[in-house]
Structure 1
Amino acid sequence: MRFGPVSLEQAEGTILAHSLQLPTGKIAKGTLLSAQHLTNLAASGFGEVTVARLERGDLHEDVAAQALARAIVPDETAQGLRISGAGAGRVNLYAKSCGIVALDRPRLEAVNAVDPMISIATVPEYHRVDAEGMVATIKIIAYGVPEAQLSHAATGAGGALRVLPPVYRTATLIETRVSEEIPSDKGRRSMAGRLERMGMELTDRMVIPHREGELAEAIAYAPGEVILILTGSATSDPMDVAPQALRDAGGQVTRFGMPVDPGNLLFIGKLGEKSVIGLPGCARSPALNGADWVLERVICGIEVTSADIAAMGVGGLLKEIPTRPLPRRSGWNGTG
C-alpha cells in the first residue's frame, strides 16, 4: 500500500486518508474517491489530497478484518461467538450467550506479532460475558494490508477464542445461623443475582444451625447441581465447621483459602460429582470478589484446582474493602 498526497487528477479510486468538510458536505476518511468527489474537491479549491492506494496483493481493511475474523472463528456455533459486519477496518466478536471466555493466549499473541497493522484485542481469559457482550475486536489499523501477511497472521488461529456457556441450571445455597434469629436474605439475594445472570436459579431457601452435624446432613441432601455454603460465622480454618461438615457428608475439600482480596476465606470441594463452594462473607455483597471467579468457572464446567486458585493472586487485589481499609494503608501498625 502506498500512502501520501496526490493530485486530484491521480486520486480517483483511491482511499481518502483524512476526513474533509466541504460546502457540499463531508467526505469521511476511508471513502473511495469517485469522479464526483474530485469535482467537489476541485470546486472547493483543493489541488491534492492525502490518500492510500492499494497495490497488487493488498487487501482492503474491511475485507482483511472480515477474513481474519472468519479464520479465528471458523465455527460460530461451536465457539459461541457472533461475527459482526466490517466497517473502518474493524470487526467485533460478540458472545451468543452468557458464559465465560476461554482463549489461547500464545496463538492470539502470534496473530498480533505478524504485522503491527493486523490486530486483535480481547477481554481477559475467564472474563464473564452476557449474551451479546463484546469479546474481542479485530482491527486492521492501516487502510489495507498485504494478503500474504494476513494469511500468515491467520495461520493456526482457528478456535483460539470461544465462550463457554453454563452447564448447570440449579444451585442450592445453604445458610447457617449462629442464633435463633434467621439471617437477613441479603446474601441469598446477592447469590441469586449472580446465578440469574448465568441462567441459573436457586432451590428453596435452606437455613440451619451453625453446627457440623446439621450442616453435613444439609450438604448430603442438597438438591441443587452445585452446592453453595454461606456460614453465619466466618470459616477461618480448614478444620472449621463448614469444611469439616463437607467431609462428614462424604465429600472432600480440595482447597481452603484463596489469594484474592476480597474473598480470602473461600473453600472448594466435591461431594460425588457435585462441586461445593464455601463462600466468603463478602459474597453477601453483589460487588466483585474472589468467589465470583471460582463460581463462574464451576458453572461453565471448568474444573477449578488448588493450583488454579493459587494463580488468581496475581491480579487478585480487586478492591479496597470500605469496612476494613486500614490494613492496606502504609503506616498502619494495628493487628487483625
Structure 2
Amino acid sequence: MNFHRVPVLAAEGAILAHATVCAGKSSRSNVIAKGTKLTSDHVTALLAAGVETVQVAQLDAGDIVENEAATYVARKLIEGQPCVHMSTALGGRVNIQADCAGVAALEVDAIHRMNAVDPGITVATVQPWMRMGAGGLMATIKIIPFAVPQRALHDAGAVACGAIGLRPPVLDTATLIETRVRPQAPPDKGRRAMQTRLDRFGVSLTDRLVVPHEERSICEAIETARSDLILILTDTATSDLYDTAPAALRLAGGDVIHYGMPVDPGNLLFLGKIGSRPVIGLPGCARSPALNGADWVMERVICGVDVTAADIMGMGVGGLLKDIPERGKPRR
C-alpha cells in the first residue's frame, strides 16, 4: 500500500486518508469521510471546492482492505469456539463478544504471535479467565492501515486459529457451609454476597446451613452436601493448612489441594475436593461483594477450568486488589 499526497485528478480509485470538506449539492458544504474510496463524483466535488491535492492510500496487488481483513482475523480467532460471536466490521474494527456467562479462555501465546506478525494487524483482549456476562466484550480486532498484505493476513490467521473462546458454567448447584463460634448464627451478609456471585453464572444456592466451628460439625455438613460445589465460610479465619476447616475436609474423605494465595484481599483461601466435587474454603473478605482472590478461583471452578496450586500461586502479579473497609487489618 502506498500512502502519499496526489493531485485530485489522479485520486480516483484511491482511499481518502483524511475527512475532507468539498462542495455538495445545492452549493452546501459536504464532507467526504476518511476511508472513502474516491469516485469520479468525489473528484468533481473536490475540484469544485477548490481542493487541488489529497492524501490517499493506493493499494498494491494482494492488499486486503481493512474491513475484510478485520473480519478474516476475527473469524480465525474464534474458529471452532462455541459461545462467542463477532460483530460486523466497521472502520477496520471487529469485536468479539460472549454469548453467555462464563470465563474468557485465551491462548495467550498464540495471540502474542498474531500481534507480532504485522504492526497493522492488532488484537486486544480482556485478561485470561476474566468473568464475562452475555454480550460482554472479550476482544477487539483493529486493522490500523486502510489495507494489509494478504500474506501477512494469512500468517496472522494461521498462528492464532481458535485462540479466543469462552468456558460456560458447568456446575448448577452450590452449598455454602457457614460456621459460628457463638451460639447465634453470623449475619447473612456473607451468604448474600456469595448468592450474588453465583447468580452471575446461574448457579443455585441451597438453603442456609450454619454449623458450630468444630471439625466434626463441618465434616458432617460436607458429607451431607449434595451440591456440585461446596463452599465453606468460617466465622474465624483459616490460618493454617491443618486448621479446622481443612482438617474437616480431610476427615470427610476429601483432599486439600492448596492453601493460601498471593492475592490480597483473598490470602486465606484453600482449595480442595471430595470425590470429583470441588470444595473452596473462602477467605473472610468473601463476605464483601468487592472483588477478591476467591472470585478468580471460584469463577474458573464453576466453568470447569482445572485450577492447580501452580495456577493459584501464579496470580500474584496483578493480585494486589482494592482494599475493602470490612477487613480487620487494613493495609494502612
Give the whole-Å Cα distance in 1 for the aligned partners of 2:102 and 2:12. 48
Write the mapping of 1:319-334 to structure 2, written as runs, cut at 5 A. Answer: 319-322=322-325, 328=331
Larger deviation, residues 144-153 vs 315-324? 315-324
Give the whole-Å Cα distance in 2 for the aligned partners of 1:188 and 1:38. 68
Residue 62 in structure 1 maps to residue 67 in structure 2: yes
Residue 15 in structure 1 maps to residue 9 in structure 2: no
Query: In the alignment, what sits opposite 2:58?
Result: 53
Give the whole-Å Cα distance in 2 for the aligned partners of 1:262 and 1:124. 19
Give the whole-Å Cα distance in 1 for the aligned partners of 2:184 and 2:46. 79
Counterpart amino acid of residue 134 in structure 2: A
Give the whole-Å Cα distance in 2 for the aligned partners of 1:101 and 1:327. 31
Query: In the alignment, what sits opposite 2:315?
Result: 312
Write the mapping of 1:161-240 to structure 2, written as runs, cut at 5 A. Answer: 161-240=164-243
Larger deviation, residues 284-293 vs 148-157? 148-157
| Paired residue secondary structure (1:158) | coil
Once superposed, what is the RMSD of the aligned Cα atoms? 1.5
Residue 40 in structure 1 maps to residue 77 in structure 2: no
Gaps of at least 5 residues in structure 1 are: 330-336
Query: In the alignment, what sits opposite 1:280?
Result: 283
Counterpart amino acid of residue 130 in structure 1: G
Query: In the alignment, what sits opposite 1:333?
Result: none
Quick check: 2:290–2:324 contact (8 Å CA) kept in 1? no
Give the whole-Å Cα distance in 2 for the aligned partners of 1:21 and 1:184. 66
Give the whole-Å Cα distance in 1 for the aligned partners of 2:113 and 2:214. 54
Aligned residues, how many? 327
Residue 139 in structure 1 maps to residue 142 in structure 2: yes
Change in Cα spacing, 1:128 to 1:207, as seen in structure 2 (3 Å) is same
| Paired residue secondary structure (1:166) | coil
Residue 297 in structure 1 maps to residue 300 in structure 2: yes
Q: CA deviation at 1:191?
A: 0.5
Q: CA deviation at 1:114?
A: 1.1
| Paired residue secondary structure (2:159) | coil
Q: CA deviation at 1:35?
A: 2.1
Identity of aligned residues (%): 55
TM (normalized to structure 2)?
Answer: 0.95
Quick check: 1:203–1:223 contact (8 Å CA) kept in 2? no
| Paired residue secondary structure (1:243) | helix
Give the whole-Å Cα distance in 2 for the aligned partners of 1:116 and 1:9. 32
| Paired residue secondary structure (2:90) | coil
Query: In the alignment, what sits opposite 2:25?
Result: none
Query: In the alignment, what sits opposite 1:98?
Result: 101
Quick check: 1:65–1:89 contact (8 Å CA) kept in 2? yes
Counterpart amino acid of residue 311 in structure 1: G
Q: CA deviation at 1:109?
A: 1.0
Q: CA deviation at 1:289?
A: 0.3
| Paired residue secondary structure (1:287) | coil
| Paired residue secondary structure (2:184) | coil
Give the whole-Å Cα distance in 2 for the aligned partners of 1:21 and 1:28. 9
Quick check: 1:174–1:228 contact (8 Å CA) kept in 2? yes
Larger deviation, residues 35-44 vs 47-56? 35-44
Gaps of at least 5 residues in structure 2 are: 23-27
Give the whole-Å Cα distance in 1 for the aligned partners of 2:200 and 2:326. 27
Residue 109 in structure 1 maps to residue 112 in structure 2: yes
